[in-house]
């Protein structure tokens, strides 16, 4: 067996269970954790200091084994709500009829593809299906390299794009235990508190991308693609000012590279003002990827391309994915998209998101440890720092808030390289009543934790 080079362990997972208070947990919880470690191994992680056992979901609520309800303010996977009856029915009927792959003619995948493409700019006209966002990003990068003949990848310093061997090599948020590829360059996140709002952040990003391109060139590497989650979720959630992506796409195109919009997090109407996060910035990417929220929990994902990128690729490379775009997954995706449109969930994200953003800002203004509240639609970040003057990230206080909210049966999480940004990202049907429950508990918790 080859010897393994020891490397520094990866940074701890934000909001991850670390076992420090294991002995204080209920006996049933301790038993489940021990059996989980024995059976699944050490690679998996649990949320929260006191992990939650979930046995049922309905709408915006999750229920534990004792019947207690938890308000889900974190889950974009169940995008139209847990166990939405229309999705459940569509999946059940299709599973009882047929489940097969894309090598057979099926009307359902054509209908869904047309509906999906109709939400996008007309320049993005070909869709290829996968099972996960990781696979979609892997395929997108494969096409980008083939189309450009280049290998270089540019990402933000806290980016997360997936878990395949290739995609993890340009997902710096996974930590130092997962080395970046030698063809990867990072730029800082678009934080206008650090680099100036408006034109300041625009010029900062332009210079950062130019420097990354130049450094790749200095090492004999051309740019294949810049890839970004359009809400910069893992970087700490950065949404404004709308338009700051324009200089990036201009510089990358000038260098012969492509722009890949990773829409797993901000897509499907979550920002409240557009179907896709990149649309807020007035750009049209060369490739778009999506995943988790697409099937409301059923594994289905996709990469969407400018057709010219696939002409030679399609002639010379066979692509097939046994489960990507299977009949049941497409039924789930179709029902999910239909619900989003029929229930105006994009409009709900805008209305409820605006209400939450205004009220969280009002609440947070009392505390010197809250530096900024930002977001779009049902995607909000709250920066927790030592104080507004120093702006030193305070991940410990953010984690204390997350765990105190969990104890009050409201589930949020944290984000950012220092884990100091509270991450508020509920299912799209989140109501004003749900928001009031969040706000009521957040007020109690902030008063107890912050100064």
Asked, for residue 223, whether it belongs to a domain, the answer is: yes
Ranges 12-16, 80-84, 113-117, 327-331: which has the least confidence: 12-16
CA separation for the pair 124, 343 (Å, rounded) = 26
* H or E stretch covering 303: strand 301-305
pLDDT in tens, 29-38: 888 999 999 8
pLDDT at residue 135 greater than cutoff 70: yes
Average pLDDT of the segment spanning 351-367:
97
DSSP 8-state code for residue 132: S
User: What pLDDT was estimated at residue 5?
Assistant: 38
CA separation for the pair 421, 414 (Å, rounded) = 5
Residues 150 and 247 in one domain: yes
**Higher-confidence position of 15 and 80:** 80
Neighbours of 123 (CB within 10 A): 13
User: What pLDDT was estimated at residue 2?
Assistant: 42
Strand ranges for 139-222 from DSSP E: 152-156, 184-187
User: What pLDDT was estimated at residue 195?
Assistant: 79
CA separation for the pair 328, 72 (Å, rounded) = 26
User: What pLDDT was estimated at residue 6?
Assistant: 39
Residues 404 and 317 in one domain: no
Ranges 70-74, 319-323, 382-386, 442-446: which has the least confidence: 319-323
pLDDT at residue 239 greater than cutoff 60: yes
Cβ partners under 8 Å of residue 404, min gap 6 = 445, 448, 449
Residues 312 and 423 in one domain: no
pLDDT at residue 82 greater than cutoff 50: yes
Residue 307 vs residues 111, 262, 303, 313: alpha-carbon distances, Å: 19, 18, 12, 10
pLDDT at residue 200 greater than cutoff 90: no
Residues 139 and 209 in one domain: yes
Residues 272 and 371 in one domain: no
CATH value at residue 398: 3.90.1150.10
- CA 30 vs. chain centroid, Å, equals 30
Coil/strand/helix, residue 31: helix
Cβ partners under 8 Å of residue 236, min gap 6 = 158, 189, 191, 381, 383, 415, 416, 417, 420, 421
User: What pLDDT was estimated at residue 4?
Assistant: 40
Residues 365 and 384 in one domain: yes
| Cβ pair 327, 98 in contact under 8 A | yes
Residues 441 and 315 in one domain: no
* H or E stretch covering 410: strand 410-411
| Cβ pair 207, 176 in contact under 8 A | no
Alpha-carbon torsion 103, 109, 113, 114, what sign?
A: positive
Residues 154 and 68 in one domain: no
Neighbours of 49 (CB within 10 A): 21
- The residue among 342, 367, 397 that closes a domain is 342
pLDDT at residue 9 greater than cutoff 50: no
Distance spanning both ends of the chain, measured CA to CA: 55
- Phi, psi of 204, rounded to the nearest 5 degrees: -60, -45
Residue 409 vs residues 55, 61, 149, 276, 437: alpha-carbon distances, Å: 14, 10, 51, 31, 10
- The residue among 321, 342, 363 that closes a domain is 342
Asked, for residue 11, whether it belongs to a domain, the answer is: no
- Lookup: tokens for 109: 């995948």
Residues 193 and 103 in one domain: yes
User: What pLDDT was estimated at residue 3?
Assistant: 42
pLDDT at residue 400 greater than cutoff 90: yes
CA separation for the pair 224, 137 (Å, rounded) = 13
Average pLDDT of the segment spanning 287-309:
97
Residue 384 vs residues 295, 304, 443: alpha-carbon distances, Å: 33, 36, 14
Residues 157 and 209 in one domain: yes
pLDDT at residue 77 greater than cutoff 50: yes
Q: 34-43 — which CB contacts under 8 Å span 24+ positions? A: none
Average pLDDT of the segment spanning 162-191:
94
- Domain range for 327: 85-342
Mean pLDDT rounded to a whole number for the chain: 93
- The residue among 315, 342, 369 that closes a domain is 342
Residues 134 and 280 in one domain: yes
| Cβ pair 233, 379 in contact under 8 A | yes
Work out how many domains the chain is built from and give that number.
2
User: What pLDDT was estimated at residue 1?
Assistant: 37
- Residue 268 buriedness (CB in 10 A; 0-12 / 13-18 / 19+): buried
pLDDT at residue 221 greater than cutoff 60: yes
User: What pLDDT was estimated at residue 451?
Assistant: 79
**Higher-confidence position of 49 and 346:** 346
* H or E stretch covering 206: helix 199-218
Ranges 40-49, 69-78, 321-330, 358-367: which has the least confidence: 40-49
- Lookup: tokens for 276: 């896709």
CA separation for the pair 447, 369 (Å, rounded) = 11
- Phi, psi of 128, rounded to the nearest 5 degrees: -125, 135
User: What pLDDT was estimated at residue 23?
Assistant: 86
Task: Return the ∠ at Cα 177 (arms to 171 and 179), rounded to 5°.
Answer: 50
User: What pLDDT was estimated at residue 10?
Assistant: 43
Coil/strand/helix, residue 230: coil
Please report, rounded to a whole number, the percentage of residues in the chain having pLDDT higher than 90: 85
Average pLDDT of the segment spanning 339-346:
98
Asked, for residue 369, whether it belongs to a domain, the answer is: yes
Beta bridge partners of 57: 62
User: What pLDDT was estimated at residue 12?
Assistant: 52
pLDDT in tens, 242-295: 999 999 999 999 999 999 999 999 999 999 999 999 999 999 999 999 999 999
């Amino acid at each position: 067996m080859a010897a393994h080079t020891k490397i520094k362990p990866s940074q701890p997972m934000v909001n991850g269970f670390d076992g420090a208070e294991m002995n204080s947990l209920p006996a049933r919880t301790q038993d489940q954790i021990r059996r989980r470690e024995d059976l699944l191994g050490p690679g998996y992680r649990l949320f929260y200091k006191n992990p939650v056992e979930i046995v049922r979901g309905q709408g915006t609520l999750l229920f534990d084994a004792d019947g207690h309800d938890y308000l889900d303010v974190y889950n974009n996977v169940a995008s139209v709500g847990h166990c939405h009856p229309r999705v459940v029915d569509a999946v059940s009927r299709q599973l009882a009829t047929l489940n097969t792959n894309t090598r057979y003619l099926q009307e359902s995948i054509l209908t869904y593809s047309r509906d999906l493409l109709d939400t996008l700019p007309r320049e993005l006209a070909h869709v290829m299906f996968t099972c996960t966002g990781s696979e979609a990003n892997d395929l997108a990068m494969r096409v980008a390299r083939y189309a450009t003949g280049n290998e270089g990848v540019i990402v933000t310093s806290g980016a997360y794009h997936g878990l395949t061997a290739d995609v993890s090599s340009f997902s710096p948020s996974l930590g130092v235990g997962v080395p970046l590829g030698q063809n990867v360059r990072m730029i800082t996140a678009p934080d206008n508190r650090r680099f100036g709002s408006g034109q300041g952040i625009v010029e900062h990003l332009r210079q950062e991308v130019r420097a990354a391109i130049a450094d790749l060139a200095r090492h004999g590497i051309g740019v294949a693609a810049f890839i970004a989650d359009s809400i910069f979720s893992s970087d700490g959630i950065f949404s404004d000012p709308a338009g700051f992506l324009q200089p990036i796409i201009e510089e990358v195109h000038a260098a012969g590279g492509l722009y890949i919009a990773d829409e797993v997090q901000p897509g499907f109407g979550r920002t409240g003002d557009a179907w896709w996060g990149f649309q807020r910035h007035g750009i049209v990417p060369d490739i778009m990827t999506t995943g988790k929220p697409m099937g409301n929990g059923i594994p289905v994902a996709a990469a969407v391309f400018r057709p010219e990128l696939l002409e030679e690729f399609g002639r010379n490379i066979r692509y097939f994915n046994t489960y990507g775009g299977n009949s049941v997954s497409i039924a789930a995706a179709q029902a999910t998209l239909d619900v989003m449109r029929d229930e105006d969930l994009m409009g709900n994200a805008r209305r409820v998101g605006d209400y939450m953003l205004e009220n969280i800002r009002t609440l947070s203004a009392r505390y010197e440890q809250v530096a900024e509240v930002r977001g779009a639609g049902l995607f909000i970040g709250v920066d927790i720092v030592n104080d507004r003057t120093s702006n030193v990230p305070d991940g410990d206080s953010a984690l204390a808030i997350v765990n105190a909210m969990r104890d009050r049966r409201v589930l949020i999480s944290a984000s950012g390289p220092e884990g100091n940004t509270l991450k508020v990202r509920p299912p799209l049907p989140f109501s004003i009543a749900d928001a009031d429950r969040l706000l009521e508990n957040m007020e109690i918790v902030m008063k107890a934790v912050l100064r």
